[in-house]
Chain A
Amino acid sequence: MFQQRPIGGVFVQPKSVNLNEYRVVDEPFYQASGDEVGVFDSCYRNGLPVLLKGPTGCGKTRFMEYMAWRLGRPLVTVSCHDDLTASDLVGRYLIKGGETTWIDGPLTQAVRSGGICYLDEIVEARKDTMVVIHPLADDRRVLPIEKLGTLIEAPPEFCLAISYNPGYQSVLKDLKQSTRQRFVALEFDYPKPDLEAAIVARESGLDRTTTELLVRFAGMTRNLKGSGLEEGASTRLLVHAAKLIAAGVTPVSACRSAIAQALTDDHEMLTAVNELSSSIF
């Protein structure tokens, strides 16, 4: 497979990894909605991969940070996009000072060091990434590195988590059954109103009264899902708006720039969303 290696006296040295920089040192703030922490704990202990389902900005990444901190493992997060290939995950050769060196990709690093690898929005990635994910996600728990002709066995500390937003229902971007069925699914949604208001207040320093109104406004935009908007406002957008308001921006314009503009470019829907926020504040 790997005849190129000796060419011109270039040598390859698999680099050993140290993921200390990926350790989550301070406890992240995560407000649990149900028993997700317990379920993830059990998955981790049993070496089961986890699928986080839910709309964007509802706390999945934060949850992973929290779990990594709780379990004391480094967290390697990869945001998948449509150019992301298996090599981007596993690794590739680079030239440094006239030498060819193999560089581990993030997934390989996580496997070698027994970290947690979180592949965000997995359906965005190219289909060939599944080839490396599948053997890691079933009871083999191995990572094939074709370029090196090796197989790495994942240590018990390693954990694979992927996320997926079932909201975008498109034939192209659907998670295949063969993938889905390898994972334990945890369902995420926007937190209940009072929890969400508490989260937004805590994240932004804004008072509870205003954050409650913000959450109510978010509810309105979520009602519009399927009636002109693809998605409603996420918790993340609420935190953004809350930070603006805390910094002195009026609620209506904070909602316009941090939320409405992020949700749509459609002029009429923008107007409608702005009318909603001006009804609340």
Chain B
Amino acid sequence: MPTIAQIEAWLDQILEVEFSFRNTAEAVRQISRLAEQDQHYVISWVRRVASTNVELGYQYALHVHHALVLMERESVEAWALHAMDTYDRSGLRPALQVIWEVDDFIRINRERAIGCVLQEHERVLTGFLRGLSGRKLKIQSAEQIYTDTETLFLPPLLAILPSPEQNFLLYKVMITALWAQTRFGTFRTNLGETLATHPNPQRILALFQCMENLRLEAIIARELPGLYRQLDELRSALGEPPLPEIWEPFRQRVSQRDCSARDVLMQVCVMPESVQPYNAFAYQGVLLLDQVDARITARLEREKALFRIKLKMLEEELREQSGNQSEKRTDGSRFGKREIRPEERPEELQVEILLHDKPLPLPDDIKELITSITLDLGEIPDDYLQPAGPGEYDPALLQQDNALDQDVWQGSYHEEGAFLYQEWDFRRQHYRKDWCAAREKSVEPVYDGFAEQTLEKYSGLVKQLRRTFEAMRDENRLLKRQTQGDSVDLDALVEALADARDGREMTDQLFARQHRSERNIAVLFMVDMSGSTKGWINTAEKESLVLLCEALETLGDRYAIYGFSSISRKRCELYHVKHFCEHYDNEVRARISGIRPHDYTRMGFAIRHLSGVLTEVDARTRVLITLSDGKPDDYDGYRGEYGIEDTRRALIEARRRGIHPYCITIDEQARDYLPQLYGPAAYTLVDEVAALPLKVSDIYRRLTT
């Protein structure tokens, strides 16, 4: 058992008492009262918390014994991690709050235990929502429950009901109710105008919400009977009062199949004064008309343009396909439409697009547009069927979403629009969430004939490389002694005939067969563009890339090249040189030439991001090859053990995703940690350009045999 003096010495050292004059006496007293294994546990956690911030560690030391009384160890750890996460995200003050308010943490935790956290179920709920049909909606957390017709806004946590399952169900019902508004025409009314001219707009709005809700419930009951049953169960679990008697006849009226939101509004306007709005049900949202109008206005214009441009493209495509046949029709294409509204389910409008009176098979993106447009307008208006003329629309209008991204990364480096990646903090023994903000840029091409000069400089090597790589192309192996095959295996046949003559049984394994191992590899080169590559390493990287591209082209495999560099976690950059789908053309060559040393070497985010890029390629074998001078290093503490440990983690994550990482280090001396990062077989040291492409061919060979 450690003595009090020992505990004090540890704490003083961890909490830097010598420089900060913190008084550790109280903490020491409390810790010394704990059982021995608790003492060691607490000290190690004080160290972990203090690695984030010393003051936070100090406060942790003061409060942890209280937490240990109140909570299981697991929760105590969650509490400490939550404090550190809060520190990462919002700074010291809020983090200290977490430490001080243990009770709050416990309450929130309890809520979490019975409640349902939106973020944790977002994928499932979004999947559910997208399955329901209609426009592709998104989910986002907010204080109020409502929709702007493109996003559903929901509370971040529901802990109203006693179990997580029931609270999840409540989300599901909320989502369905909001979806139904967008899907069944709640916003296809002139509610806004009615409110503007009515003497008592509040009352009209409240009545409309009540009545429209009843209409949608009736539709849900018809369309999603299973869900309606769940809704009913929830309502009684919540102890909601039944619908007031006076509303019953209205409910029946709006439950008619052919009742539309417009009918609802009309009825609301003539509602007798005696009818009062009922209290909204727990799942019911509010109508925020301003939000809705803003969205619809922007969307109408954009989608009309998009639709007409896509018709234009469709027209061109069809003309191309049918070749000369359609050239006779110089009058241009006449698009028409046929709207089918099944009697049984009037909400289910089907629109066919006709060309010369024949229905056209439509690509998915046009189908989606039709859906979205008919949800807003109830039809495809005739003027939409006129294909767009050349230059009729400003392309900016169409790229609205992209344009947003563009702004973000041309502007300052706030995190919006960036890819956020976690990072491993070895002292904390935990990930820092959303720690790095990464962005993709492109290398500015430099047309200076660099590639040509390189090829000339290494002309001998290029020939050799081509031969090496060509030999790997379509590796054919002859499989002998097969039961069937393309040619006779002479050796086997001779033996077999001899056997037969001697009266032994003759084998039927007499054939040879060509086995083509079709390689299906995608390789991504991750090129260090940090400042430390300045000088010969940068040149070596670029020359190697030129030689590699030259060699890889002969193979016909897919490959991509990205550079990476960073200054602090907020400015992590990936530089695109060649995408997988791009050809090795002049522009790519010029981009290789444009590779310049930039800032620092944060490896983790680059590995994580590029692993993502790789997993999106359809290939059997995915390879990530890092070309670097091998020093993980960034100025906000990403160096030494921290950088190496995060890089190691990122590589483990990549391997779990089925990626084979390799590292080729361009340097004069080996780094002792590289085998630890990549495994002894997966890294090599190269000190001259000539050797590098050959190393890559080694990697290839190892992967394919």
Residues of A within 8 A of B (CB): 4, 7-8, 82, 87, 92-96, 98, 100, 126, 147, 170-173, 187, 189, 216, 219-221, 223-228, 252, 268-269, 271-273, 275-281
Among A4, A92, A187, A216, the residue within 8 A (CB) of B484 is A92
Quick check: B618 and A172 within 8 Å, CB to CB?
yes
Give bound CA distance, A221 to B130, whole Å: 9
* Contact flag A275-B128 (CB < 8 Å), given A98-B506, A172-B618, A280-B224: yes
Q: Is B640 an interface residue (CB 8 A)?
A: no
Quick check: A272 and B486 within 8 Å, CB to CB?
no
Quick check: B130 and A224 within 8 Å, CB to CB?
yes
Quick check: B361 and A8 within 8 Å, CB to CB?
no
Give bound CA distance, A82 to B519, whole Å: 12
Which A residues are CB-close (under 8 A) to B131?
220-221, 223-224, 272-273, 276
* Contact flag A93-B488 (CB < 8 Å), given A219-B133, A224-B127, A271-B124: yes
Other than A273-B127, A275-B127, give 17 A-B pairs with Cβ distance below 8 A.
A4-B488, A7-B493, A92-B485, A92-B511, A95-B508, A126-B518, A171-B558, A173-B618, A224-B131, A228-B130, A269-B123, A276-B131, A276-B132, A278-B227, A279-B224, A279-B227, A280-B224
Closest B-chain residue to A169, C-beta based? B618
Quick check: B511 and A93 within 8 Å, CB to CB?
yes
Closest A-chain residue to B520, C-beta based? A172
Closest A-chain residue to B340, C-beta based? A192
Distance from B168 Cβ to chain A, minimum over Cβ atoms (Å): 9
Give bound CA distance, A147 to B486, whole Å: 8
Q: Is B275 an interface residue (CB 8 A)?
A: no
Closest A-chain residue to B365, C-beta based? A226
* Contact flag A170-B132 (CB < 8 Å), given A95-B508, A224-B127, A279-B224: no
Quick check: A100 and B124 within 8 Å, CB to CB?
no
Quick check: B581 and A280 within 8 Å, CB to CB?
no
Quick check: A223 and B132 within 8 Å, CB to CB?
yes
Quick check: A275 and B487 within 8 Å, CB to CB?
no
Quick check: A278 and B226 within 8 Å, CB to CB?
yes
Quick check: B581 and A171 within 8 Å, CB to CB?
yes
Quick check: B123 and A272 within 8 Å, CB to CB?
yes
- Shortest beta-carbon contacts, A-B, top 9: A272-B127, A279-B227, A220-B131, A227-B130, A268-B123, A279-B224, A276-B131, A170-B618, A95-B508
Interface residues on B, range: 35 or more
Distance from B137 Cβ to chain A, minimum over Cβ atoms (Å): 10
Distance from A227 Cβ to chain B, minimum over Cβ atoms (Å): 4
Distance from B676 Cβ to chain A, minimum over Cβ atoms (Å): 33
Closest A-chain residue to B125, C-beta based? A272
Distance from B178 Cβ to chain A, minimum over Cβ atoms (Å): 15
Which B residues are CB-close (under 8 A) to A281?
225-226
Q: Is B497 an interface residue (CB 8 A)?
A: yes
**Interface residues in B517-570 (C-beta closer than 8 Å to A):** 518, 520, 558
Give bound CA distance, A170 to B123, whole Å: 25
* Contact flag A226-B618 (CB < 8 Å), given A92-B484, A273-B131, A280-B226: no
Which A residues are CB-close (under 8 A) to B126?
227-228, 272
Among B364, B488, B506, the residue within 8 A (CB) of A7 is B488
Q: Is B176 an interface residue (CB 8 A)?
A: yes
**Interface residues in B92-139 (C-beta closer than 8 Å to A):** 123-128, 130-133, 136
Give bound CA distance, A134 to B497, whole Å: 39
Distance from A127 Cβ to chain B, minimum over Cβ atoms (Å): 9
Give bound CA distance, A223 to B127, whole Å: 10
Distance from A144 Cβ to chain B, minimum over Cβ atoms (Å): 15
Which B residues are CB-close (under 8 A) to A87?
486
Which A residues are CB-close (under 8 A) to B227?
278-280
* Contact flag A220-B516 (CB < 8 Å), given A279-B226, A281-B226: no
Which A residues are CB-close (under 8 A) to B487?
4
Give bound CA distance, A275 to B126, whole Å: 11
Distance from A79 Cβ to chain B, minimum over Cβ atoms (Å): 19
Q: Is B172 an interface residue (CB 8 A)?
A: yes
Give bound CA distance, A225 to B136, whole Å: 11
Among B176, B223, B484, the residue within 8 A (CB) of A94 is B484
* Contact flag A228-B508 (CB < 8 Å), given A93-B488, A279-B227: no
Distance from A204 Cβ to chain B, minimum over Cβ atoms (Å): 21
Which A residues are CB-close (under 8 A) to B516?
126
Closest B-chain residue to A97, C-beta based? B506
Closest B-chain residue to A272, C-beta based? B127
Q: Is B318 an interface residue (CB 8 A)?
A: no
28 contacts between A and B (CB under 8 A): A7-B488, A92-B484, A92-B485, A92-B486, A92-B511, A93-B484, A94-B484, A95-B483, A95-B506, A95-B508, A100-B488, A171-B618, A224-B127, A224-B130, A227-B126, A227-B136, A228-B126, A268-B123, A268-B124, A272-B123, A273-B131, A276-B131, A277-B226, A278-B227, A279-B172, A279-B226, A279-B230, A281-B225
Q: Is B142 an interface residue (CB 8 A)?
A: no
Distance from A145 Cβ to chain B, minimum over Cβ atoms (Å): 12
Which B residues are CB-close (under 8 A) to A252?
226
Which A residues are CB-close (under 8 A) to B133?
219-220, 223
Q: Is B78 an interface residue (CB 8 A)?
A: no
Which A residues are CB-close (under 8 A) to B226?
252, 277-281
Closest A-chain residue to B361, C-beta based? A187
Which B residues are CB-close (under 8 A) to A226?
364
Distance from A80 Cβ to chain B, minimum over Cβ atoms (Å): 14
**Interface residues in B471-502 (C-beta closer than 8 Å to A):** 483-488, 490, 493, 497, 500
Which B residues are CB-close (under 8 A) to A98?
500, 506
Closest B-chain residue to A9, C-beta based? B497
Closest A-chain residue to B348, C-beta based? A193
Q: Is B28 an interface residue (CB 8 A)?
A: no
Which A residues are CB-close (under 8 A) to B157?
none
